[in-house]
Structure 1
Amino acid sequence: MSGRILVTGGSKGIGAAVSARLAGEGWRVIVAAREQGAIDATVSALPGDGHEGLVLDVADADAWDAAELALTRDLAGVVCVAGTIGPIGPAPIVDPDAFMNTLKVNVLGTWLAARATRPALEASGGAFVAFSGGGATGPLARFDAYAASKAAVVRVTENLAADGLRANAVAPGFVVTDLQDDVLSAGREHVGDAYFEKVEQAVAQGGGESPALAADLVAFLVSDASRGIAGKLLSARWDPWGDAAFQERLRTEPDLAALRRIDDQFFTTTTPVPTP
């Protein structure tokens, strides 16, 4: 493999694991993040040659426009890992500006990545991989902005796929990263007892899911082995995405691994609902 793959948020946590995994597969990785020092450290540790760093605020449209020319050359994939988790707490105490900032980073940042790189990906037949997370498929109380943004990322990904882009979303599972430090800093009274204790225990024990699970799934989704799979939300931990039979189902069943209502799957309305 010799193509280039852009990884936003690629200098730390899950992003760094993804960058290392892709470099190990022979891809040339563009590590994009906001801090030059972290970028340099990650790039220098990657196996292989031809890796690059890019200082980038994913929520800044002008920054994407400025980087667009550099991203068009031999681009074979884009992986959007960059994200933020706050603000945390019940709605009355949440700062609306902080809420909007999370939507900008997580949702707009993903959409801007697709906007800037789509022509290059279409030319190369490359893959676009977004990152979903907690709250996308079920409630995550007191993380309203994060949960809403991650559900929106999945729908953006599905829209991109419906419009012809080879795009999928990854649910990495509960991975202990710097984001969990933000959870602990918010405090038990804002987070809620159950989730706070889950995070506190995982951080103390070095637990949670391994970021390698998500990195392995990303490596599959940018490879030729995943061609024909698009518009899916895949769990790195729970979906048998490495199984050939499941992969064929992903190619042929449009509602599998997607955000859909499931009413008719589990119950049927017995009394006709009057039409307004």
Structure 2
Amino acid sequence: MNTPAEQPQQLHGKHHGKVVLITGGGTGIGAAIAQRLAQEGAQLVLAGRRQAPLDAVAGPLSALAIVADMSDSKQARSVVQQAVATYGRLDAVVANAGGHGFAAVADTDDEAWQASLTANLGTAFVTLREALGQLIENRGSAVVISSLAGLFAGPKVAGYTVGKHALIGLTKSLARDYGQHGVRVNTLCPGWVKTPMADAEMDEFAAATGIASREEGYRTVTANVPLRRAAEPAEMASIVSFLASEEASYITGATIVADGGAHVVDLPTVAFEAL
């Protein structure tokens, strides 16, 4: 039996014939999504800022890898055009790219503020706007990757928190306006996931607190999470696969939380667990 983090060798082709654009497809959750959808028959377009990670993921999957700043309208439009020129259509978008905004409000200058909004909101907004024509034509779907930070505020991550909250509003607006054209748009809010970005955060956390290792860091930050662990990227990929498939044909405008149950914990009662 496969554990939740394992991918089976053969998956049924529920995305056979679909063309899917994934932003931030070179690492972490984006790479796992690409691998999952490719196993399920999708043809992929991976967009990101760095060639080497994109190529590393795209090569084994026979995917189209395009280096682009997807917050730039011309570059995003070009990516969509290349997707259509290569595969003839575009059926789904996974707006996964993000980052920046790791400081409190008083420590965030104008440049950092704009960078955080661009990375976390602007990239998704521009990508989806440029892809809408194809999504409408093909009655397609989109999955927007937000975060648990889209629902709650962590310490000293103002720009990231605001941007991730705004993605939920973007999802709802798209679902409201384009559902009549058969377009579905949903948000996924992951909690801690073992990605390179999270690994780096755990390394910093371990060094700052004297914890012995990265794994001990993950155990510490998930100590009050009901499932008591961080997720694997493949677990997020399985949710995206569902939301982008016909199995979710009547789901739109939804916010799906995948955080091991963190959002159900009443923090003032955590101390009572020892009783």
**1:75 partner SS:** coil
Unaligned runs of 5+ in 1: 240-276
Cα distance in 1 between the residues matched to 2:25 and 2:124: 14
Q: What letter corresponds to residue 169 of structure 1 in structure 2?
A: T
Offset at residue 25 of structure 1 (A) = 0.3
Partner residue in 1 for 2:129:
115
Deviations along 1:47-104, one digit per CA (max 9) or x if unpaired, are xx5x2111111222221133332234321110011111x3323332223311210110
Partner residue in 2 for 1:42:
57
**1:135 partner SS:** helix
Q: Is the CA contact 2:80–2:131 (under 8 Å) kept in the aligned structure 1?
A: yes
Cα distance in 2 between the residues matched to 1:98 and 1:105: 10
**1:150 partner SS:** helix
Is the aligned partner of 1:136 residue 2:150? yes
Cα distance in 2 between the residues matched to 1:12 and 1:24: 17
Is the aligned partner of 1:151 residue 2:169? no
- TM-score, normalisation: structure 2: 0.75
Q: Is the CA contact 1:88–1:183 (under 8 Å) kept in the aligned structure 2?
A: no
Cα distance in 1 between the residues matched to 2:89 and 2:189: 27
Cα distance in 1 between the residues matched to 2:45 and 2:147: 23
Q: What letter corresponds to residue 240 of structure 2 in structure 1?
A: V
Divergent runs of 4+, >4 A: 184-189, 197-200
The one of 35, 39, 42 equivalent to 1:27 is: 42
Cα distance in 2 between the residues matched to 1:182 and 1:90: 19
Cα distance in 1 between the residues matched to 2:166 and 2:156: 17
Q: Is the CA contact 2:33–2:234 (under 8 Å) kept in the aligned structure 1?
A: yes
Which residues of 2 match residues 238-253 of structure 1 at below 5 A?
none
Offset at residue 37 of structure 1 (A) = 1.6
Is the aligned partner of 1:227 residue 2:268? no
Deviations along 1:4-56, one digit per CA (max 9) or x if unpaired, are 1001011111100000000000101111111112111111122xx5x211111
Cα distance in 2 between the residues matched to 1:41 and 1:139: 34
Query: Alpha carbon RMSD of aligned pairs, Å?
Result: 2.8
Q: Is the CA contact 2:44–2:64 (under 8 Å) kept in the aligned structure 1?
A: yes
Offset at residue 237 of structure 1 (A) = 4.5
Partner residue in 1 for 2:217:
201
**1:171 partner SS:** strand
- TM-score, normalisation: structure 1: 0.75
Q: What letter corresponds to residue 194 of structure 2 in structure 1?
A: V
**1:163 partner SS:** helix
Q: Cα distance 1:167–1:236, how it changes in 2: closer, same or farther (>3 A)?
A: same
Partner residue in 2 for 1:3:
18
The one of 155, 167, 172 equivalent to 2:185 is: 167
The one of 72, 78, 87 equivalent to 2:101 is: 87
Aligned identity (percent) is 27
Partner residue in 1 for 2:271:
none
Q: Larger deviation: 160-169 or 229-238?
A: 229-238
Deviations along 1:238-276, one digit per CA (max 9) or x if unpaired, are 58xxxxxxxxxxxxxxxxxxxxxxxxxxxxxxxxxxxxx
Q: What letter corresponds to residue 34 of structure 2 in structure 1?
A: S
Cα distance in 2 between the residues matched to 1:95 and 1:186: 23
Question: How many residues get paired?
Answer: 229
**2:106 partner SS:** helix
Q: Cα distance 1:62–1:204, how it changes in 2: closer, same or farther (>3 A)?
A: farther
Offset at residue 187 of structure 1 (A) = 7.1
Q: What letter corresponds to residue 147 of structure 2 in structure 1?
A: G
**2:131 partner SS:** helix
